[in-house]
Amino acid sequence: MTSLLVALALSATTADAKPYMWGAGGSVNTMILPGGYPSTWAKAKRVDGTIPNLAPYTNDNGSLAAPHFNEVRGDLGVGARGLFYINGTWRGRASGQMAFGSDYRGGHLVMGIDKIVGGESGASLLVGGDFLGIGFQRFSSAEDGAELRASTFPVRGHLGLMYKINKTSAIELSPFVALPLPLRQMLTTDAGEEHEMGVGLNPLQYGSIGIELSYYYGDFSKPSRKGKKGKKGKKGRR
Please tell me whether the overall predicted TM-score, pTM, comes out greater than 0.75 for this model: yes
Mean pLDDT confidence for 77-103: 95
Contact 104, 129 (CB under 8 A): no
Position 175: which residue type? P
pLDDT the model gives residue 49? 81
pLDDT at 208 over 80: yes
Which candidate, 163, 86, 152, 95, places its Cα nearest to that of 129? 95
Rounded to a whole number of angstroms, the CA Rg of the chain reads: 24
pLDDT given for residue 205 in this prediction: 87
User: For 169, what's the count of Cα atoms within 13 Å in the CB-facing half-sphere?
Assistant: 3
- Was domain 2-13+24-219 assigned CATH 2.40.160.20? yes
Burial-class residue 15 by CB neighbours within 10 Å (0-12, 13-18, 19+).
exposed
Residues 7-34, mean pLDDT to the nearest whole number = 75
Torsion sign across C-alpha atoms 133, 37, 196, 194: positive
Compute the average pLDDT of residues 39-58.
89
Mean pLDDT of the chain: 87
Structural contact between residues 175 and 202, judged by C-beta atoms closer than 8 angstroms? no
Residue 100 identity (one-letter amino acid) = F
Q: Do the beta carbons of residue 220 and residue 116 sit within 8 Å?
A: no
Cβ–Cβ under 8 Å, residues 128 and 94: no
pLDDT in tens, 125-179: 999 999 999 999 999 999 999 999 999 999 999 999 999 999 999 999 999 999 9
CA distance 81 to 176: 15
